[in-house]
């Protein structure tokens, strides 16, 4: 996100904690077009400097706040995926094992199979909407706080404050 400092509109500062992510070595290529190693010890140019940063990420991963975000994610996604997968497999199994039932007319040329197929699309959109809503209301704020904290800790490690 861009913000302007004071009256000089020529100065732009970035408040995104991941703005300098490439400066840490993540997302870079190794010269052959393959991703560079994400393991800091395997990259000699970061040896000694990145060990602390890796420790920060491990520390954040072990934190109660991170575990709470993951728990909220799993509590929504696991049952949602199980329910959606069951609905999908049920549709496929019914279509192959009970073609007479699926061919039963409901209204004019519209049959059970057509309604169930359209229901697949509808539930896909509903699940996507519910997931986005759940993320926005239950996880986004906590995840953003973690993101800022992690970025601040990594800056402190790189600056030698830790």
Per-residue H/E/C for the chain: CEEECCCCCCCEEECCCCCCHHHHCCCCECCCCCECCCCHHHCHHHCCCCHHHHHHHHHHHHCHHHHHHHHHHHHHHHHHHHHHHHHHHHHHHHHHHCHHHHCCEEECCEEHHHHHHHHHHHHHHHHHHHHHHHHHHHHHHHHHHHHHHHHHHHHHHHCCCC
How high is the pLDDT of residue 110?
92
The model's pLDDT over 30-75, given as tens digits with 9 standing for 90+, comes to 556 555 554 444 444 444 444 567 777 788 788 888 888 899 999 9
Q: Are 147 and 17 in contact (CB under 8 A)?
A: yes
How high is the pLDDT of residue 45?
43
Instruction: Answer yes or no: pTM beyond 0.75.
Output: no
Stretches where the chain sits below pLDDT 70 are 1-52, 159-162
Considering only CA atoms, which of 17, 38, 42 is closest in space to residue 29? 38
How high is the pLDDT of residue 128?
94
How high is the pLDDT of residue 48?
47
How high is the pLDDT of residue 148?
81
Domain boundaries, the chain: 2-158
């Amino acid at each position: 996100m861009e913000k302007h400092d004071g009256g000089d509109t020529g100065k732009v500062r970035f408040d995104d904690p991941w703005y300098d992510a490439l400066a840490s070595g993540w997302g870079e290529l190794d010269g052959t077009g393959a991703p560079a190693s994400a393991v800091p010890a395997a990259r000699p140019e970061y040896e000694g400097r990145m060990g602390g940063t890796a420790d920060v990420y491990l520390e954040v991963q072990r934190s109660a706040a991170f575990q709470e975000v993951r728990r909220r994610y799993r509590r929504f996604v696991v049952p949602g995926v199980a329910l959606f997968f069951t609905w999908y497999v049920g549709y496929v199994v019914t279509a192959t094992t009970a073609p007479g039932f699926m061919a039963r007319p409901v209204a004019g040329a519209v049959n059970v199979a057509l309604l169930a197929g359209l229901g697949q699309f509808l539930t896909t959109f509903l699940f996507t909407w519910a997931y986005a809503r759940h993320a926005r209301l239950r996880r986004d704020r906590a995840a953003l706080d973690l993101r800022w904290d992690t970025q601040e800790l990594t800056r402190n490690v790189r600056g030698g404050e830790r």
